[in-house]
Amino acid sequence: MDQFISAMGQEDAALLIDCQSDKVLEEVVFPDSSHTILVCNSNVKHQLGASEYPVRVQQCKVVEKALGKRFGEQNFPNGLRDATPSMVEDLRKANALDDVHYRRAKHVVTENERCQAFAAAISAGDFGDAGRLMNESHSSLRDDFEVSCPEINTLVELAQQVDGVVGSRITGGGFGGCTVTLVKSSEVEKLEEHLQSEYRKRWEKACITFASKPGIGAHPMETSPWIWLLFYGPFVKDKDARRTFWFGLSIAVAVISAAMTLTQARQS
């Protein structure tokens, strides 16, 4: 997903993506700038994740087999993605899943629904409902899928204490990393101060915050020829061309220096 959004991101829009077909289902445009996404880095590395990721995959496969056995394998061509919350509940009531596998499946099927509900809420400008879904998502990732960690939970709890915050959750692969918080734009500074101050008190280390907004992904940029000369000029193999580059650069520096001196002299 990281690579997908880096390449396909759109200005002022979230992307509802289909991770199976790698297609954008919908560009979810933020209707206004009344709310901001604040990213907070816990400075906890994803060390546990390397060993736990394959465990989660295997647990989901166990659920897929249980679903196929009870409802027919032909009904799940896309695996657990085709299941509904009622199907998962049915497996639990039939004692076809233990508690751990039930909670893993519950997270997957409810998170799929939350993603679509979040897209609808943002499109409708209902930031309150979008924030509620973010909070529910974090609770599910923490309690059912169990991919959070104490430091991340602290950041979410601290964010939820601040007026103007509508929702907060872990983001990324889990077991550390960052949180994302949807907050009124007027309250961003207050939120940053609260997170940085209280997180240090609890964990004796800093967190890093920065406000963000959806932006365009990787794309060709119009670059001035002078920029290309600056970066590639020194590496030109032809001696005469390289000598011309350095001569031109020295002239440019001299002109800029003279202009700055003249400006300062006029101001004084």
Residues catalogued as catalytic: 2
Tokens read off for 94: 């039939």
In 31-140 the beta strands, taken as DSSP E runs, fall at 35-41
List, in sequence order, every residue forming a beta bridge with 39; answer none if it has no partner: 180, 210
- How far is residue 193's CA from residue 62's CA, in Å, rounded to a whole number? 44
Tokens read off for 115: 């993603």
Q: Work out whether the CA dihedral 159, 160, 161, 164 comes out positive or negative.
A: positive
**Kind plus residue range of the DSSP H or E element containing 231:** helix 225-232
239 neighbors 28 (Cβ within 8 angstroms): no
Q: Which of 156, 56, 139 lies closest to 104, judged by CA?
A: 56
Quick check: helix, strand or coil at residue 172?
A: coil
Distance, C-alpha 193 to centroid of its chain: 21
Q: Which of 139, 118, 120, 140 lies closest to 130, judged by CA?
A: 118
**Kind plus residue range of the DSSP H or E element containing 166:** strand 165-171
Q: Which of 37, 9, 28 lies closest to 216, judged by CA?
A: 9
List, in sequence order, every residue forming a beta bridge with 36; answer none if it has no partner: 183
